[in-house]
């Protein structure tokens, strides 16, 4: 089985105008890729082509194998959005919260973020964080070391493993068992794929139980990410943990 634990509503096709159209395309593409369940990640913006937390929760309320993760930002209607996320968490409508440092101009040691960390601890849900790519100074692994030490009960998901500096990220954070590695978008840059795969191979050999399969669909290919995992020189049982079991356990998903 396969769970894609990091995807978004598709925004690559101008013909997909309504959220309903995007939902139908996503479900069709998941079926074609052989994916059994997925987590759709909402944006932190007030309005977004990938949907707000309210829109994503409503859109997939009738789809048992699709779960929602709520984006939030300390820069955008913070009090109101925190209250909304807490309402959704009380009702069991979100499986995690997501921060976007780098996409947005705040650092992971911003003291305002303590309210998000505490919210995730209170409702025992993971915190996923965008890392790497552009403006990576906002989400450097050094911040996750401090966060893991300050909040040992908080389960932290480092999305994209601080690409392209995957080895640096793992070297700095591997000692913290409450840190997990989301491999979404890592198969997207084919010119770097050999180096990326070697870095992922190392993590999989040492910490397969902390790797989460994700594709960053909406922009990236699900099939390319499945192929990357299947190409790893590890036991089939470890591949199954990466593709399905780790996400099911971490996010408490029932398919």
In sequence order, the 6+-apart residues with CB closer than 8 A to the CB of 153 are 121, 178
- 52 pLDDT exceeds 90? yes
* DSSP for residue 132: S
> What pLDDT, on a 0 to 100 scale, did the predictor assign at position 185?
96
Per the prediction, the chain carries an average pLDDT of 96
Measure the CA–CA gap between 190 and 27, rounded to whole angstroms: 26
> What pLDDT, on a 0 to 100 scale, did the predictor assign at position 221?
95
Least confident of 45-54, 88-97, 165-174, 185-194: 185-194
The string of DSSP codes covering 197-212 is: HHHHHHHHHHHGGGEE
Terminal CA-CA length for the chain: 10
pTM of the model: 0.96
pLDDT tens for 199-222 read 999 999 999 999 999 999 999 999
- 20 pLDDT exceeds 80? yes
> What pLDDT, on a 0 to 100 scale, did the predictor assign at position 138?
98
pLDDT tens for 154-183 read 999 999 999 999 999 999 999 999 999 999
Return the H-helix or E-strand segment holding 40. strand 37-41
- 190 pLDDT exceeds 80? no
In sequence order, the 6+-apart residues with CB closer than 8 A to the CB of 230 are 239
pLDDT tens for 111-145 read 999 999 999 999 999 999 999 988 999 999 999 99
> Beta-strand (E) ranges in 95-236?
96-99, 127-130, 156-159, 179-182, 211-212
- 60 pLDDT exceeds 80? yes
> What pLDDT, on a 0 to 100 scale, did the predictor assign at position 125?
98
Measure the CA–CA gap between 193 and 187, rounded to whole angstroms: 6
CA triple 39-242-228, angle to 5 deg:
95
Q: What is the arithmetic mean of pLDDT over 184-198?
A: 87
pLDDT band at 51 (very low <50, low <70, confident <90, very high): very high
pLDDT band at 192 (very low <50, low <70, confident <90, very high): confident
pLDDT band at 11 (very low <50, low <70, confident <90, very high): confident
Nearest CA to 95 out of 249, 252, 255 is that of: 252
- 191 pLDDT exceeds 80? no
> What pLDDT, on a 0 to 100 scale, did the predictor assign at position 12?
77
Q: What is the arithmetic mean of pLDDT over 23-45?
A: 97
Measure the CA–CA gap between 218 and 214, rounded to whole angstroms: 12
Q: Which domains does the chain show, CATH number per domain? A: 3-250 (3.20.20.140)
């Amino acid at each position: 089985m396969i769970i894609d634990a990091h995807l978004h509503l598709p925004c690559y096709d101008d013909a997909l105008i309504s959220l309903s159209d995007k939902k139908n395309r996503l479900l069709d593409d998941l079926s074609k890729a052989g994916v059994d369940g997925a987590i759709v990640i909402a944006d932190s913006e007030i309005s977004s082509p990938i949907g707000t937390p309210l829109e994503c929760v409503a859109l997939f309320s009738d789809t048992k194998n699709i779960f929602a993760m709520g984006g939030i930002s300390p820069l955008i209607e913070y009090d109101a959005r925190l209250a909304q996320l807490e309402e959704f968490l009380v009702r069991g409508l979100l499986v995690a919260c997501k921060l976007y440092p780098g996409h947005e101009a705040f650092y992971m040691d911003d003291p305002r973020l303590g309210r998000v960390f505490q919210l995730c601890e209170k409702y025992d849900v993971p915190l996923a964080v965008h890392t790497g790519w552009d403006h990576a100074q906002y989400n450097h692994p050094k911040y996750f070391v401090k966060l893991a030490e300050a909040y040992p009960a908080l389960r932290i998901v480092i999305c994209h493993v601080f690409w392209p500096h995957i080895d640096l990220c793992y070297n700095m954070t591997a000692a913290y068992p409450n840190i997990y590695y989301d491999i979404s978008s890592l198969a997207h840059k084919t010119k770097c794929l050999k180096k990326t795969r070697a870095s992922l191979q190392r993590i999989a050999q040492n910490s397969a139980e902390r790797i989460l399969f994700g594709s960053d669909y909406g922009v990236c290919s699900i099939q390319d990410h499945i192929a990357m995992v299947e190409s790893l020189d590890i036991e089939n049982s470890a591949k199954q943990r990466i593709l399905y079991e780790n996400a099911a356990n971490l996010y408490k998903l029932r398919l």
